[in-house]
Amino acid sequence: MDEAAPARSRPYHHGDLRRAVLAAAAEAIEESGPAALSLRELARRAGVSHAAPAHHFGDKAGLLTALAEEGFDLLAGTLAQARERTGSLLETGLAYVRFATTHPAHFEVMFHPDLYHPDDPAVVAARARATAELQSAIGTLPDPPTGRRARVTGLAAWSIAHGFATLWQSGAIPPDAGTDPTELGRAVLRRLIDRD
Amino acid sequence: MDEAAPARSRPYHHGDLRRAVLAAAAEAIEESGPAALSLRELARRAGVSHAAPAHHFGDKAGLLTALAEEGFDLLAGTLAQARERTGSLLETGLAYVRFATTHPAHFEVMFHPDLYHPDDPAVVAARARATAELQSAIGTLPDPPTGRRARVTGLAAWSIAHGFATLWQSGAIPPDAGTDPTELGRAVLRRLIDRD
DNA sequence: TGTACATCAGTGAACGCGCGTTCACTGATGTAC
DNA sequence: TGTACATCAGTGAACGCGCGTTCACTGATGTAC
């Protein structure tokens, strides 16, 4: 993680401190959870003075709001891509699981609205995009349901994918059940979707 | 919340401080999440000096270990009762959902092992009891599976119940989907269990 | 192409605060005789 | 029934620490002319 030009001293302007702090936050949360997070620690990780992060995010909740927004955006993109590429609800559900395992900090924060400003317009919009994406994946089923039935089906798919991802992330699933979350997740989700 | 005998000053010995601190912790976590928890605040809530809680639990992780143990014990009891009374996997799953909504603080802590000492023997035993209870509920199915098939079925039921409970708790489910978690949960779980 | 100036990102010293931890103590309870 | 003593729950003063926040500042960048 050394600088490309080690002789040159740190420039006064970071260049992209906002992104750097967000990345540092995700890293720190992966290591010790959101409870231990402090703006001063993120400043240290980003190599800037301790007051710099507040310049961009105001306070911790502001920072986590930005992280949640980024997470919902990434998730919406991931789900859209999976649906377009495979046209399969099962595979879209697995993309959800994979998102949770590859972005554990974002995932953790996104679903703990007491950590951030859940009514922030940007995060509301990003969340709506992800939810719509998930719901529209129901349309890929062979005989797609409509109305209330469609909503319950969507909620069931969301629940099983979310539950499996959460349990996996928390280490609650005994390791002898499997070592690859996608593989085990496929077996689990198949109990609900594309049964044979 | 006044004392029964308000004239009498607080006795030197609390009498049941351990339970009082655990209850105060659950209350505080419901209000502001585990991140904001402090032993001094719990002492204030329990009406004792700030150093008293440490006397019983050592530190915050010790306290949350006790809370997780209590949670897994309560959950195991709830699941056992539901299974014995109804003999139904669906109803046992709904008991899981109901546990999460009635004990949100316990539920939150139990599945965040980075908050406590997950290898503590008491908590390991309590967790094993709850897991075994859940798995044995699979045996109530009309044509109960065995071996790996049984484990995947159990994991699927656990995932959908856990996912629904988690999403409900976090407020992620839009309120127009339903106002009673048991009712909506029944519709959702029925997509996996006891389909008609 | 050059100069002046506005804007803004980041600095660093200072502050007050709530926290966990320590420790000698005090008051209550239970048990031995 | 009474006394002595051990045990243990809870006290309260003291401490050092990392935190968020404030604020006058400095250095870099971009734009107007």
Tell me the average pLDDT across A19-46: 96
DSSP-derived secondary structure for A124-176:
HHHHHHHHHHHHHGGGGSSS---HHHHHHHHHHHHHHHHHHHHHHHTT-S-GG
Per-residue pLDDT of A169-189, as tens digits, reads: 999 999 999 999 999 999 999
Per-residue pLDDT of B21-77, as tens digits, reads: 999 999 999 999 999 999 999 999 999 999 999 999 999 999 999 999 999 999 999
Q: Output the six-digit token pair for B169.
A: 């708790």
Q: At what angle do helices B60-86 and B121-136 cross, to 10 degrees?
A: 20
Per-residue pLDDT of A133-168, as tens digits, reads: 999 999 999 999 999 999 999 999 999 999 999 999
Structural Rg of chain A based on CA atoms = 19
Which residues of A spanning 88-117 put their CB closer than 7 angstroms to strand D? none
CA dist A90 → A59, A73, A122, A192, B108 (Å):
39, 21, 29, 9, 28
Q: CB A50: neighbour CB atoms within 10 A?
A: 13
Q: Which pLDDT belongs to residue B10?
A: 66
Nearest alpha-carbon partner for B73 in B126, B143, B110, B37: B126
Report phi then psi at A30, rounded to 5: -60, -35
Q: Which pLDDT belongs to residue A12?
A: 63
pLDDT confidence of B2, banded at 50, 70, 90? very low
Which residues of chain B have a CB within 8 Å of the CB of A187?
A: 152
Residue B110 scores a pLDDT above 70: yes
pLDDT confidence of B13, banded at 50, 70, 90? confident
Q: Which pLDDT belongs to residue B92?
A: 98
Q: Which pLDDT belongs to residue B12?
A: 64
Q: Smallest Cβ distance to A153: which of B115, B131, B191?
A: B191
Residue A16 scores a pLDDT above 90: no
Instruction: Say what percent of chain B tops pLDDT 90.
Output: 90
Residue B3 scores a pLDDT above 90: no
Q: Which pLDDT belongs to residue A8?
A: 41
Q: Smallest Cβ distance to B160: which of A112, A160, A174?
A: A160
pTM (whole model) above 0.75: yes
Residue B195 scores a pLDDT above 90: no
Nearest alpha-carbon partner for B65 in B137, B128, B121, B148: B121
Q: Which pLDDT belongs to residue A9?
A: 52
Q: Which pLDDT belongs to residue B1?
A: 34
Q: Do B162 and A161 touch (CB under 8 A)?
A: no
Tell me the average pLDDT across B90-102: 98
Residue A18 scores a pLDDT above 70: yes
Report if CB B50 to strand C is under 7 Å: yes
Residue B138 scores a pLDDT above 60: yes
pLDDT confidence of B15, banded at 50, 70, 90? confident
CA distance A149 to chain B (A): 9
CA distance A140 to chain B (A): 17
